[in-house]
Amino acid sequence: AAAALSGVLTPELMQGSGDYIMRCQTYEGGLGGEPGNEAHGGYTFCAVAAMVLLGQVHRLDTVRLERWVLRRHMALEGGFSGRANKLVDGCYSFWQGGLLPLLMPLLSSRTHVLVSGEDDRTASGVRSGHEYPFDLEALQRYILSACQDPSGGLRDKPSLRRDYYHTCYCLSGLAVTQSLLLSNDPVLGGLSNKLLFTDAVLNVEKSKAQRALQHFNALPKLQG
């Protein structure tokens, strides 16, 4: 991401990267930190975003990846977990929720993946006659109701302390979720909760990402 933003993502730098990332995709569909590791939400987002920047995201098994991501969305809490059989964590509102905008152009023709034990309405996130990859309102509610500390900042889950990391990625997940809303869908809690849209790959506010790209692209190219 830093190389793409600063205009130095050269063919030499990209060489072999896509092949390595491909080896990190597991039988579950998500990706681990290295080949053979368990699929993990943070590594999966970074890997998929890298493949988008490399122009190779189509090489991933997006059907299995779609299923794995949507299985991490917990129907009871409304948030995402990072791995199989793990608890919901507010930071995965971004690491998992942020994957869907990256995958949407390549998602299967199914409107949703039915998860065992869930009915069609829960699994597809049907609200007000619309279908989403996951329940956007439930995710917003988890972030705003469960992750906010009364004194400010955001956290993993109730009973845990706020910190800068979870504040960043809970808000990042909320921004992604709001960007998926249709024009007539309400922002949970009112417009005072509306955040600026971010670049889906870089997780930077769009105008700032564009300014950075323009700045670095105007500089003389590095010579090998």
Active site residue 86: yes
Is 40 a catalytic site residue? yes
Catalytic (active site) residue 112: no
Indicate which residue of 24, 91, 147, 170 is catalytic.
91
Which of the following is catalytic: 43, 92, 142, 169?
Answer: 92
Tell me the two tokens of residue 10: 């050269």
Q: Is the CB of residue 67 less than 8 Å from the CB of residue 112?
A: no
Among 114, 74, 66, CA closest to 92? 74
Is 119 assigned a catalytic role?
no
164 is catalytic: no
What three-state secondary structure class fits 148?
strand
Active-site residue, selected from the candidate residues 61, 149, 163, 185: 163
Which is the catalytic residue, given 166, 169, 170, 199? 166
- Contacts with 183 (C-beta within 8 Å, 6 or more apart), sequence order: none
166 is an active site residue = yes
Q: Is 156 a catalytic residue?
A: yes
| Under 8 Å between Cβ of 29 and 67 | yes
- Distance separating alpha carbons of residues 136 and 188, to the nearest angstrom: 10
**Catalytic hit among 86, 141, 157, 194:** 86
Of 72, 83, 112, 155, catalytic: 83
19 among known catalytic residues: no
Q: Which among 24, 89, 135, 169 is annotated as catalytic?
A: 89
The whole-angstrom separation of Cα 146 and Cα 21 is 34
Cα–Cα distance for residue pair 71/65, rounded to 1 Å: 10
Catalytic-residue membership of 73: no
Compute the distance between CA of residue 41 and CA of residue 170 in angstroms, rounded to an integer: 14
* Active-site annotation holder among 40, 67, 72, 112: 40
User: Looking at 156, 162, 169, 199, which residue is catalytic?
Assistant: 156
Catalytic residues: 40, 83, 86, 89, 91-92, 156, 163, 166
